[in-house]
Each structure stands twice: as C-alpha cells, then as structure tokens.
Structure 1
Amino acid sequence: MRIVTALTAMATAAGIAVAAPPAAMADHPTPVDACVAGVPETDPLAPGPVNICFTVFRPAGASAAHQVPVLLHSDGWGGSRTTEPGSFQPYLDAGFGVVSFDQRGFGGSGGKAHVGDPAFEGEDVIRVIDHVASLDWVRRTGPNDPVLGAIGGSYGGGYQFAGAFAEIAKTGRTRFDALAPQITWSSLNDSLAPEGVVRTTWVTALYAIAPRAHTSTMHAGYAEGMLTGNWPAAMDEFFRDNGPAFHSDAGRRLDIPVLLHQGISDNLFPLDQAIDNFDRALTPRARADSLLVGFNGGHTLPTAVPGGYAVAGDACPTALGASGYDDLELRFLAENLLGAPRTISGHGRYHLMTAEGGCVGVDSVAPSTTAALPDVLTTAGVGLPQAIKIADGPLTLAGSPTLEAAVSTFGLDSRAFFALSTGTSPLDAKVIQNNVLPHREPGVTLGARRTIELPSVAATIPAGRSLFLTVTPISDMFLLHGSRTPGAMLLRDVTVNLPVVL
C-alpha cells in the first residue's frame, strides 16, 4: 500500500495542495483550454508535429486595464494538467493567473517524454511562455516578457529549470521572475544511478508508470540497465543535458529568486539534489533572495535493508513565519511577483527538518568536524549491514557528510552502500532519513584513497544515543544491483567529515 501511495503521489506532483473546496470559490472566469505547436518529435516511435496543450486560469478582475502576473504549472511524471475550475483557488484569489500545461508525452500533448531535455521540454516551455505573453490581461515588464513565476513538484519542478535554463542558453536571460520547484532534481544521472549503480526500485517504478511516453532510447536503456546492473552509456548521454547540473557546469546561473522545497527522506531525489541547485545553479544575488526548505517526505518508497527512520512532516515553514508550506510558497511568490512586503524570514539559508521532527537553519551545509574510525571490512554482494560508532550524543547534524579512506577490494565491480545512523548500540542503529549512497570500485583495488559521498541529513541526537556509520553490501533501493561477484571491501585510515552544528 505504501508503494502504491508513493507512486500515486509522484504521478500527481506530491506536496502541491492547491485545490480549494467548491464552497470557497470566488467568481473567477471559466478556465480556457488551448494548445501551441511544440518542438517536432524526432524519436522513431512517434515522429512528426507535436502540440503542447494547456488550460488558462484568469483571476476575477484581470483585464487589459488591470493586468496580473501569471504562474506556470505542470504535473508530476505520468500525470496531466489541471483543468477543474477552482483548482488554483489560493493563487487566483491572491491575484495570479495560472497556466497549467501537459508536458510532451502526457495528457493532451503529443510526442515522447525527453525528461527535461532543453532541446525538447525546454523549448516547449518557451513556446508556452510566448502564448502567456500574448494575453492582454497579463502584466509585462517589456515586449513579449510577462511577469512570470512557476509552481509544481517532481517532474513539475523539472520543467521550471528546463525552461529557464533553455532561455538563458539562447538569449542570456530568462523571462521567469521567480521559481518554486518542489522535490525535483539537479542531475538525473546522479539521482537515478549514483556512481553508475542503478537505483533499481525507483527506475522500475518510473518506467512502469508511463510506458507509452518513453522514447526508444529509454526502452532500450531500461532493459540494459536491469540486465547488467550498470547505467548504460546511452542513458548517461540521454540524461546528461536534462537538469541544472549540466547548465551550471557550463557556467549558466539563474539570477532570480527560487524557493526550493525538498524531501530529506526522499529516496529518489534526495536533499543533496536541492543543495546542488542552491549552491551551484543560482547567482550570489539570487541566492540571497532564495530559500531551501527541507522536509521529511517526497518520493518515499519504504526501506527495509538497511532500516531507516524519519518523522514525517514539514516543520520549517512555521519557523520562517508561515502557517505551512502552501502559505510560505504563496508569500514568496507574492513578494517577488506582486511586490508584496517581505513577511517571511530566512532568505539565503538552508532550513532543514530533522529526522526527529525539529527544524535547523544554517548558513552552510559543509562538514565542520572530522572523526576517525577503525578499519571497516564489509562483504560484497551478500551479507548484513553493520554499524560502526562515530560519536556519542548530544549533537546536531545538518548538511552533507563525507567519508575518506584507503579502499581495497577483492572481487570484480565491488559495491557497498553507506549512510549515517543513530541508536543506543550497533544492534538498534537506524539510518537517518532512510537514504544510502553507493560506492563502487570497478576492478580490484589496493589501498586507493577515496572520498565517498554520504547522504545529506539533518538530525538531533540526544544524550544516551550515538551516531554510527552504517555500511551494507545490499540495499533494497538498489535491489539486485550490489556487487557483481562475491568478495569484500576493506576501508583503512577512515575519517568521517560531519556537518555538526551543535
């Protein structure tokens, strides 16, 4: 049941609660459906012209004499646009127009899904923006330049970056004035196959949700990845351009405010993806006006090996002066698009919900403390998780830890999975916020110095409990994609770099 719930939530952009009961509806005009010509499809499975279809929600009173800003919206992977009157009631009541569109391959739009490729989905967004700019009731800052924001989660967050960066690549600037992406990615390759190890459970779920939307590359790549346990070169190439990481590597930055809302216990697009966007995809000026808010939720399939924990919820918006995330988002958009006074705090900082239910606000998520550990020996391919003690509580962590060690492996394509955990002893230690990350050695390795990324976390560990390093040869998020041959991995001269804040 939890798997079904998680997939349903993903397909409908989990976390975006914008609907209002019909009794609360104001007298906004009836939404209008329309389509524009998108980029023609080149995939051999469905070549030819493509329409990108959308529904326009105009707020009451908006006219050529009283122009208003507009928010773009799109749904999660496998979903379709919102068409029902009253669905965006809070935004319309606040004075925003909304345009909800189907991304290519979904809903009423044609073509195949290229999963955020700027040459396809990015160009499609540009053409939708052109239509928005043509509406006489839309406020503009210049010719063909609407006052424009964006909302949506998961795949509905990905289009925001795809459209904005596609414009920057073409013209040096974007017509978006503010973004509010939720539970989305920086790099799809890093998310779907960190270290080239396929995140099997999620990749299978995503593939199964929308088989008819896939390109021929996706069909072939999925089959190869499941068979070999390796991320195919064709998939790496297919996804390489499809996220902020590609653009930031090319020197492009967003110079607009962005509200990033990311699930720390999300085991598809974990917190590190939002941190990468906050740290690398924004100019210093934009970051000073932006916020990163981490919560326990998002894409959360259950994990059993190794077992983890996180108190579900979203504790940080109230600490920033909002009544909840929806209120925080609306205030953020109002201050940046409507000129409303700044009534929320915490701009330019990371606000992370702890696994235990609190909220920690920090200026940096980099490691600040180093701890030495004894040698670690783990089996490869088969075996049970082990927990190695790092430190005793009380302490608070908020950020991105790393591990450094001299690594030796005895076997071909050895893989082990790493995380931080807490408990009263190694026997009851549970992984903080459910996430693990793999480390992979393609061949036999003898004492090679490695830096291993650990999952980004936030946790408050009280007195009487301890912090552990969990190392496991298998993980159910990477089912059947452990080591290719039995063997062992030995870590010597081990240090863990921790983002300790208290």
Structure 2
Amino acid sequence: MSRHLPARLGLRVFCFTLIALLSACGGSSGSSSSTNNQQTGPMTGGGTAESKTFFDQTLTAADGEDIAFTVFVPENPNGKALPLVIHGHGFGLSRLKDMENPDPINGFVQNAEITAQIAKRAWLEAGFYVISFDQRGFGDSTGSITVMDPEIDCRNVSQIIDWAETNLANLGRRNNDPVIGSIGLSYGGGFQTVCGSADKRFDALVPLATWSHLPYSLYPNETPKSLWLDILGVVSAGNLEPYLITAFLEATTTGDINQDALERLAGNGPRSFCQKQMGRTPASADALFIQSANDVLFNMNEGVENYVIEL
C-alpha cells in the first residue's frame, strides 16, 4: 500500500512541492523511539466476492455524537485482499457520498479538489476500499468542532477503523494488521498527521497543505491571521468549541489569544506527538507531504517541519 499510493498520486499532483517522508516525526524510518507499524510482504485475507457498491454508515461516538461516513466497495469478483483508503474533507466541507453521480455541490467540490479525484480513482481504477467521512461537526457528523483534538476527533477516526476491520470482508492485512492509507487536503490533512500519530494502524499518509503547529498557523509571532480566523469562524457556522469561539473573538478584537487556548491548540498537531508532549508516544507511518509554496495559512514552513521535526 505505502509503495503504490504515492506513485498514483504523482499522476495528479501539480504546482506543489513534494516532500517524501519515510516515517512520522523525522526523516528516518529507523527511529527507535516511535512505534513503527510498517509491515512488508504480500497482503493476506480476502476470499469473498464483492460487487461495486457504496453505502452510508453512522456510528455512535464515545460522547454520544454521530460519526457519519460513506463506504465505497470496489468490484472484486475474485475476493482479493484489498487496502483501505480513508478520505477526509477540508474545513467547512463534507464527505464524498456518491463519486459517480454526485449532486451539483458535491460534483463541484470533487472536480475542484484533487484529493476527491484521487479517492475516486482509488475506488474505480485501483480497486481499493474507500471510506470518506464527515469530520466532527460537519456534514452529518454531530458535535462541536474541536479542530482535531486527538482525544475526540481521533477517537472517532479509530472507531471508523474498528468498523472497517469488522465489516470489510476483504480488507487486506500484514501480520494481522490492516493495510490502511489516507488522503485529504488542509483539514483533511490534519486528521492524517494527528490521528496517524495516535493510531498505529495507518500505513501510508498523503496530507496536502496542512499544519504542524496550530499556534504558528493561526498566531505567528503573536500576530493573529485575522482574515483566516474570520473565515474559519464563518464556515464553522458557530459550531466551534466554546474556547475556540472566545479565542477567535479575542484575536479579531484585541489582537491577542489567551495562553490556555494556545496550549490546547498546540496539542492538536503532530508536533505534540513528535516532541512527546503530554506523555504522548507517536505511531509511525510512511508519508508523502505535499505543501503549496503560496499557501498563507499553512505555509511551506509547516510542510518542512512535518518532514524534519526530530523526537
């Protein structure tokens, strides 16, 4: 899985700087201080013939909220063992529900958003399982928006993986570990770097234009990116966690963000795992970071840091 997904991406990537990473939290896959989950050899499993289909699924999160996602099953008459690709959408958007005949809004998003096109190719051309999910507080997933709190958002993602392990008949495995990759842009990249650090079952990540450290993204040199904070506040439709609403209001009215909010935001990024903050120990996954040179929210520095940060 981790060998083939980046190669397919190369056909679709344009005007981006590509940074290859062999393991999370540094440029070496040999770090003894991370939990390395990489497996080699052929996938095992399978044996059940499946026809191409897709369907919606809803789980109940640990806090009682809904986790909504759509499962895309490829044509697989021989019951081959297959990898799974998990797709996450950008901030303010929602999941892919129909990749063949989408409604006008979803169709526009799919045509404009490269990771949606990649997810479609993974299902229809590569013959992979694909799950596209509504991130907490967006689409049909309920709850307030935490901006990728590992204890909340990543617990939801782990529940989706639990469901996949139980219900995808031909999900491939290596040494009894499911073969799972992920794709997503911006907020859909953040779920990968944070949840891929929290859950060792990810094998390959492809985060596009995402963050390493949210205080730097939103409040560099103690200067708020007011326009971006206003945009994020609007597209969240007032559904942000209360501390984030307060922080965004502070930023736009006083130019400051309180320290408690900054510390909580700092915990919602891969740096907190790579530096073992709050007692965290990161998992490891192959990754391909793709960062735009002219992105003023998650700039090139964040992509570089995601690549070079050391434990």
TM-score range (shorter-chain normalised) is: 0.7 to 0.9
Q: Does 1:273 align with 2:273?
A: no
Distance 1:222 1:89 in 2: 35
Distance 1:142 1:198, change over 3 A: same
Partner of 1:195: 221
- Measure how far apart 1:253 and its partner are: 4.7
Q: Does residue 76 of structure 2 align to residue 53 of structure 1?
A: no
Q: 2:198 aligns with which of 162, 166, 169?
A: 166
Q: How many Å apart are 1:277 and its aligned residue? A: 0.6
Structure 1 CA distance for aligned equivalents of residues 286 and 77 of structure 2 = 25
Partner of 1:235: 261
The alignment status of 1:115 with 2:147, answered yes or no, reads: yes
Q: Distance in 2 between matches of 1:131 and 1:109?
A: 16
Match of 2:130 among 90, 94, 98: 98
Indicate yes or no: 2:172 matched with 1:146. Answer: no
CA deviations over 1:246-297 (Å, ceiling 9, x no partner): 111117455321000001110000000011110026x8xxxxxxxxxxxxxx
- Residue from 292, 302, 309 that aligns with 1:263: 292
Distance 2:198 2:157 in 1: 9
Which amino acid counterpart does residue 89 of structure 1 have in structure 2? K
Task: After TM superposition, list the pairs within 5 Å mapping 1:297-376 onto structure 2.
Answer: none
Task: Give the Cα–Cα distance (whole angstroms) in 2 for the partners of residues 213 and 30 of structure 1.
Answer: 33
**Equivalent residues of 2:196, 2:285 under 8 A apart:** no
- Distance in 1 (CA, whole Å) between partners of 2:93 and 2:247 is 22
Does structure 1 residue 219 correspond to structure 2 residue 245? Answer: yes
> Distance between the aligned counterparts of 1:255 and 1:162, measured in 2?
11
Percent of aligned positions that are identical = 32
Q: Residue 74 of structure 1 is aligned with which of 88, 106, 110?
A: 88
Letter in 1 for 2:188: G
Q: CA deviation at 1:89?
A: 3.3
Q: Partner of 1:211: helix, strand, or coil?
A: coil
Contact 1:68 1:139 in 2 (8 A): yes
Task: Write the distance in 2 (CA, Å) between the matches of 1:80 and 1:279.
Answer: 31
- Measure how far apart 1:62 and its partner are: 6.2
Q: What is the DSSP-based 3-state SS (H/G/I as helix, E as strand, rest coil) of the residue aligned with 1:226?
A: helix
For residue 119 of structure 1, give the secondary structure of its aligned residue in structure 2: coil
Tell me the CA shift for residue 113 of structure 1.
1.0
Separation in structure 1 between the aligned mates of residue 301 and residue 292 of structure 2, nearest angstrom: 10
Structure 1 residue 224: deviation in Å? 1.6
Q: State the distance in 1 between where 2:97 and 2:258 align.
A: 38
**CA-CA distance at 1:39 after TM superposition:** 3.2
- Structure 2 partner of 1:406: none
Q: In 2, Cα distance between the equivalents of 1:142 and 1:207?
A: 44
| Structure 2 counterpart of 1:348 | none
* 1:122-175 Cα deviation digits (max 9, x unpaired): 1111111111111212112244x31100000000000112211122xxxxxx11
1:160-193, Cα deviation, whole Å (9 max, x unpaired): 12211122xxxxxx11111000000000111100
SS class of match (1:76):
coil
The 3 A distance-change label for structure 1 pair 62 and 162 is farther
Provide the C-alpha distance between the structure 1 equivalents of 2:307 and 2:73, rounded to a whole number of angstroms: 32
**Separation of aligned partners in 2, 1:39 and 1:194:** 34
Moved over 4 A (4+): 251-254
Which one of 136, 141, 158 corresponds to residue 169 of structure 2? Answer: 136
Query: Contact 2:144–2:240 (CA<8 Å) still a contact in 1?
Result: yes
Determine helix, strand or coil for the equivalent of 1:213: coil
Asked if 1:183 is matched to 2:209, the reply is yes
Amino acid at match of 1:271: M
Residue 256 of structure 2 aligns to a residue whose secondary structure is coil
* SS of match in other structure, 2:238: helix
Structure 1 counterpart of 2:61: 38
8 A Cα contact 1:62 1:68, kept in partner:
no
Kindly tell me: are residues 138 and 117 of structure 1, through their superposed partners in 2, closer, same or farther at Cα, counting changes over 3 Å? same
Scaled by the length of structure 1, the TM-score of the pair is: 0.46
2:86–2:183 contact (8 Å) kept in structure 1: yes
Partner of 1:294: none
Which has a greater percent of strand?
1
Please report how far the alpha carbon of residue 212 of structure 1 lies from its aligned counterpart in structure 2 after TM superposition.
Answer: 3.1
Structure 1 residues not aligned, in runs of 5+: 1-14, 18-26, 41-48, 168-173, 284-502
Whole-angstrom distance in 1 between the partners of 2:180 and 2:203: 5
The structure number with the bigger radius of gyration is: 1
Instruction: Specify whether residues 254 and 264 from structure 1 end up closer, same or farther in structure 2 by C-alpha distance, changes over 3 A only.
Output: farther
Distance 1:28 1:274 in 2: 39
Contact 1:186 1:243 in 2 (8 A): yes
Deviation of residue 101 (structure 1)? 0.3
* Cα distance in structure 2, aligned partners of 1:99 and 1:142: 22
Task: Give TM-score scaled by structure 2 length.
Answer: 0.73
Q: Contact 1:39/1:50 (CA < 8 Å) preserved in 2?
A: yes
Q: Which has the higher helix share?
A: 2
Describe the SS at the equivalent of 1:224: helix
Contact 2:196-2:205 within 8 A present in 1 as well: no
1:246 aligns with 2:272: yes
Q: Secondary structure at the match of 1:247?
A: helix
